[in-house]
Chain A
């Protein structure tokens, strides 16, 4: 079967750095997405990785290792508005998007 694992919940302090991990087992791989979803809102796109390595975009970075079936989302200089759920999703060989359950990130002052 196809499976994506990410922690259910994480807590971090304002101004700090947090890393949200995602591991996947899918039938084929055509890219990995990270989305941010605030409570009661639709997800918004954060990043897309298809090659191994680190993609940096402002305070957010995303890393991919295809051989390990592993990705992480790194958030720096955390702000209270970063409190949200972070969803990892993988596109399989049929270009179908497989979703993780999401990681709820709680930022404390």
Chain B
């Protein structure tokens, strides 16, 4: 159990376009969902934490108007990268938290390349 899917797995887009990434917990209801970004050879960087039905909490330095997070249900969260630029190219990973200690189960990640 505890499977998290993420779609798409890879996306290439032109500069200025918006990209939506979906994260779903397939066999459990996630109390919280997390969005991470990882640049090559660097550690995970938490971007934001979201709870179903409430606004996401963004980490310092992450622009909430650029990275829109919608947590529509206990099994679905979306991240939209608006007006993407080449510097937004990165590996975006979501995770779904379960239980009081928020044990996190990761999606397979989305590799975004902005041309």
Contact for B44 among A43, A45, A50, CB less than 8 A: A43
Q: Is the CB of B108 within 8 A of A91?
A: no
Question: If the complex has contacts A42-B93, A42-B107, A43-B106, are A99 and B101 also in contact, measured as CB distance less than 8 A?
Answer: no
Interface size class of B (residues with CB under 8 A): 10 to 19
A60 to B107, CA, bound (A): 23
Residue contact A30 to B101, C-beta cutoff 8 Å:
yes
The residue in chain A whose Cβ has the minimal distance to the Cβ of B110 is A42
Q: Would you call B106 and A44 a contact (CB within 8 A)?
A: yes
Rounded to whole angstroms, the CA-CA distance of A50 and B34 in the bound complex is: 22
A41-B108 contact in complex given A99-B46, A101-B43, A102-B43, C-beta closer than 8 Å: yes
At the interface, yes or no: A48 with Cβ under 8 Å from chain B?
yes
- Asked whether, in the complex, the Cβ of A50 is within 8 Å of the Cβ of B101, the reply is yes
Chain A contributes a number of interface residues (CB within 8 A of B) equal to 21
Whether B102 contacts A95 by the Cβ 8 Å rule is yes
User: What is the distance, in angstroms, from B113's C-beta to the closest C-beta of chain A?
Assistant: 13
Contact A95 B100 (CB under 8 A): yes
Decide: A42 and B108 in contact? CB cutoff 8 A: yes
Chain A residues with a Cβ under 8 A of chain B? 30-31, 33, 35, 40-45, 48, 50, 87, 91, 95-97, 99-102
A selection of 13 A-B contacts at a CB cut-off of 8 Å is: A30-B101, A33-B103, A33-B104, A40-B111, A41-B109, A42-B108, A42-B109, A44-B106, A48-B103, A95-B101, A97-B34, A97-B102, A101-B43
| B binding-site residues for A, Cβ under 8 Å | 34, 42-44, 46, 49, 91, 93, 100-109, 111
Beyond A30-B101, A97-B104, A101-B43, list 7 extra A-B contacts (CB 8 Å): A41-B108, A43-B44, A91-B101, A91-B102, A95-B100, A97-B34, A102-B43
